[in-house]
């Protein structure tokens, strides 16, 4: 997988129109089209409107997804709480895993920042166990870096 090329494609999309909605939509599509063995790729947006911070479903490609994820819950909520990439080889062994799609077996979630705050998490699921590697993590961090640099929230 050529993550440098993917990051440059996302850069080209974001430079032409930096509004978060089309950039995240096209980034989801680009990831879903270029990475093998996925069943979901998309974003959950940080929502601070309630009593407690949560994640709200954003642009994605794949099967129907959970609409809201509580802070600290599941892989995505844990990525938000810890502000850290979560690379999970077997989601069924992850404490508090939320089974939005029972076909998902592994997952990687990367926080996306702006102005020192997490604005979203990039969530990618696979039906295969141990689908994601450190190489995927490092490559996807290049894509996230482009989003952090260019997206206007």
Residue 35 scores a pLDDT above 80? yes
CB 130 within 8 A of CB 114: no
- Is the model's pLDDT at 86 over the cut of 80? yes
> Side by side, which strands form the sheet with 106-114?
68-70, 54-62, 40-47, 117-126, 106-114, 86-88
Measured CA to CA, the distance from residue 48 to residue 25 in angstroms comes to 21
Average pLDDT, integer, range 37-43 = 97
Q: What pLDDT does 95 receive? A: 79
Confidence of residue 55 (pLDDT cuts 50, 70, 90): very high
94 has pLDDT over 90: no
Q: Could you tell me if 41 and 58 are in contact, meaning their C-beta atoms sit under 8 angstroms apart?
A: no
pLDDT of residue 98 exceeding 80: no
CATH architecture of the domain formed by 3-150: 2-Layer Sandwich (3.30)
DSSP notation for 103-131: T--EEEEEEEEETTEEEEEEEEEESSTT-
CB atoms within 10 A of CB 68: 13
Q: What is the mean pLDDT of the chain?
A: 95
């Amino acid at each position: 997988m050529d993550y440098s090329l993917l990051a440059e494609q996302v850069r080209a999309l974001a430079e032409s129109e930096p509004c978060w909605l089309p950039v995240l939509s096209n980034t989801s599509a680009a990831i879903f089209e270029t990475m093998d063995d996925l069943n979901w790729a998309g974003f959950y947006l940080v929502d601070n409107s309630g009593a407690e911070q949560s994640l709200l479903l954003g642009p994605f490609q794949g099967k129907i997804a959970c609409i809201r994820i509580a802070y600290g819950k599941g892989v995505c909520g844990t990525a938000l709480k810890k502000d850290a990439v979560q690379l999970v080889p077997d989601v069924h062994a992850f404490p508090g895993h939320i089974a939005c799609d029972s076909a998902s077996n592994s997952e990687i979630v990367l926080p996306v920042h702006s102005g020192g705050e997490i604005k979203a998490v990039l969530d990618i699921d696979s039906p295969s166990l141990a689908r994601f590697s450190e190489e995927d993590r490092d490559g996807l961090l290049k894509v996230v870096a482009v989003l952090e640099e260019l997206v206007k929230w």
